[in-house]
Structure 1
């Protein structure tokens, strides 16, 4: 289920109360808004046990007070992904400044504070600690800490969770429970590798998320025409045969998946209206297609229109698309 949140649709006198109610659906907290009051836009989504909030707001302070930390909410972990600007996260005697692309965790079971003078700009993922099942005392070691910035697992996790927040409906189509479980395994792997925990649980988490991590690596390098199976396997310290077996277990053919992802990227760019400023060949090259002619044939075979026809059709539809209240990316 996806819920769109837009404070502009609410009468000014009722916005503060309504936005506190929205926040309570994520996690009960106190909010500080500057005058003249709340400006909030974004979406909430549930995928199995994972609750996603993708919100841009002028709220300058989010506080889980000591009283709220003792409420009836099932003990939960929040993973924050900073979208833009910087935020200060304070919990358990630590504080961390997080910047775009940084991951940070905070727990519902103790007070925490998020501060950003420019307004709240995070994707947040809330999951029950019971399902995440981290080793004892691990959570308190990582709250209000930037999670291994620059670490390969953390970097791939940041890309995955950004993609998940941007398109929750697409992931829901693949099975909400499966996506939820894979996401929790990935969070467990990020936390474990950050703490350099060597255990059977860590190894199991890394193995369980191998396919997901491979696909996120590929997604992040789609624009590189030299991307190939040997390089992908080497990056994940596995053989090419194991690479193909891991993907085949999920019904994925590597070559087909890369081609389809690149075509989708080209289709989205050509339909955005921004591509009017660049040539179709430039868009194709941006997504890893070296030969414009073969790209054109592949595009027509997949979508039934040439790239030029698709761009013209999408451009004509721009006014209708602009009226859609759903924020495509925050």
Structure 2
């Protein structure tokens, strides 16, 4: 197997593996072998006509490893026989920088989009498929770095941080920036601080009530994430209002509104903004072209089509009918396809 060890003196050494190092017919076997040596045992397959094209860099920080993985569409699977044959007691935290994917483990299947972070156990079988060219940052951390001695890591549930949510970005962006900065300039003197930062952030995400309490800004980001996720999952419900969100996150409405000031919105304003954004996406989606505007309005939580039409025109400067009839390139030009306020 070919790999390259680079970086001496003040830099952390890293290894690099790439399918271009192997003959075309041996690429899948090469990738499986290299990944087993640096990360975890798995099986790989691809339906790409050109075969698998993939590359990864691997940095070893002791109890924690980092991998930067780039490739075309492919699927990796850690089956039960592989789990038994090549056991590994770790958690993987994967931040998807480019592409789209799906992840299946323990009867749960999640779509993974650009910017999403997923955390899962390597002690249980899983399937991870990339449907287009991808790049992801992977953190491989030993279980005893995050869990108390004796805890059964196999019971750890898949955790997904939605990168489309503002609070999700607040939680993942610092991790992304620090890891990319290190990969670009892997100075040995910065490795201990990066190791501790990653460990603390993952413990905060996985065990927010643990004794090493997260910082105040992280606590607020976690609460905002719970609030945003609850809103996103209940936009079509007539029962969704600011009081329901406050109750879900166990906060007073006054304090919750203070947290949403970060977005220059009240909770109520945020709910209606997200309902409009959801309706806008449905109107732009060809899959909903045969549905009436009234049906879409009701599905997105509006009580009447008139109320929806009035709010939609105020927000997007077009009536719903006009928007639906507007060519896609015109929507992109005036910014209405990407109109979520920051």
Using the size of structure 2 for normalisation, the TM-score is: 0.54
Q: RMSD between aligned alpha carbons?
A: 5.6
Preserved contact between residue 105 and residue 142 of structure 1 (Cα < 8 Å) = no
SS class of match (1:100): strand
In the alignment, structure 1 residue 13 sits paired with structure 2 residue 24: yes
> Which residue does the alignment assign to 1:309?
322
The structure 2 residue matched to 1:245, chosen from 242, 255, 258, is 258
Preserved contact between residue 52 and residue 71 of structure 2 (Cα < 8 Å) = no
Alpha-carbon distance between aligned partners in 1 of 2:167 and 2:212, rounded to the nearest angstrom = 32
Q: Mapping of 1:147-226 within 5 angstroms? A: 147=157, 158=160, 161=161, 163-164=162-163, 167=164, 176-177=173-174, 188-189=203-204, 191-192=206-207, 198-199=210-211, 201=213, 206-226=219-239
Q: Quote how far apart the aligned CAs of 1:17 are.
A: 6.2
Alpha-carbon distance between aligned partners in 2 of 1:186 and 1:171, rounded to the nearest angstrom = 13
Q: Quote how far apart the aligned CAs of 1:203 are.
A: 9.1
Alpha-carbon distance between aligned partners in 2 of 1:139 and 1:79, rounded to the nearest angstrom = 24
Tell me the number of residue pairs that the alignment of Structure 1 and Structure 2 aligns: 260
Alpha-carbon distance between aligned partners in 2 of 1:173 and 1:238, rounded to the nearest angstrom = 20
> Which residue does the alignment assign to 1:100?
109
Distance change >3 Å, CA 169–CA 15, structure 1 → 2: farther
1:124-159 CA-to-partner distances (Å, cap 9, x unmatched) read 8734769xx997644983533242xxxxxx8xx64x
- Return 5+ residue gaps in structure 2 as ranges: 1-22, 57-65, 112-117, 179-197, 332-342
Q: Quote how far apart the aligned CAs of 1:312 are.
A: 2.1
Structure number with greater Rg is 2
SS class of match (1:212): helix
Distance change >3 Å, CA 289–CA 313, structure 1 → 2: same
Alpha-carbon distance between aligned partners in 2 of 1:264 and 1:203, rounded to the nearest angstrom = 32
SS class of match (1:257): helix
> Which residue does the alignment assign to 1:4?
none
Q: Quote how far apart the aligned CAs of 1:293 are.
A: 0.9
The structure 2 residue matched to 1:126, chosen from 120, 125, 138, is 138
Alpha-carbon distance between aligned partners in 2 of 1:58 and 1:175, rounded to the nearest angstrom = 24
Alpha-carbon distance between aligned partners in 2 of 1:309 and 1:188, rounded to the nearest angstrom = 49
SS class of match (1:213): helix
Distance change >3 Å, CA 134–CA 245, structure 1 → 2: farther
Alpha-carbon distance between aligned partners in 2 of 1:135 and 1:58, rounded to the nearest angstrom = 28
Distance change >3 Å, CA 310–CA 185, structure 1 → 2: farther
Alpha-carbon distance between aligned partners in 1 of 2:213 and 2:71, rounded to the nearest angstrom = 30
> Which residue does the alignment assign to 1:141?
151
Q: Mapping of 1:252-267 within 5 angstroms? A: 252-267=265-280
1:95-131 CA-to-partner distances (Å, cap 9, x unmatched) read xx34225976237xxxx67455xx747998734769x
Preserved contact between residue 51 and residue 126 of structure 1 (Cα < 8 Å) = yes
Alpha-carbon distance between aligned partners in 1 of 2:288 and 2:173, rounded to the nearest angstrom = 33
Distance change >3 Å, CA 218–CA 34, structure 1 → 2: closer
SS class of match (1:309): helix
Alpha-carbon distance between aligned partners in 1 of 2:44 and 2:212, rounded to the nearest angstrom = 45
SS class of match (1:126): strand
Distance change >3 Å, CA 31–CA 86, structure 1 → 2: closer
Preserved contact between residue 28 and residue 45 of structure 2 (Cα < 8 Å) = no
Larger relative contact order, structure 1 or 2 (CA cutoff 8 Å, min sep 6):
1
1:143-188 CA-to-partner distances (Å, cap 9, x unmatched) read 33242xxxxxx8xx64xx2x32xx599977999328879x998853
Alpha-carbon distance between aligned partners in 2 of 1:216 and 1:79, rounded to the nearest angstrom = 20
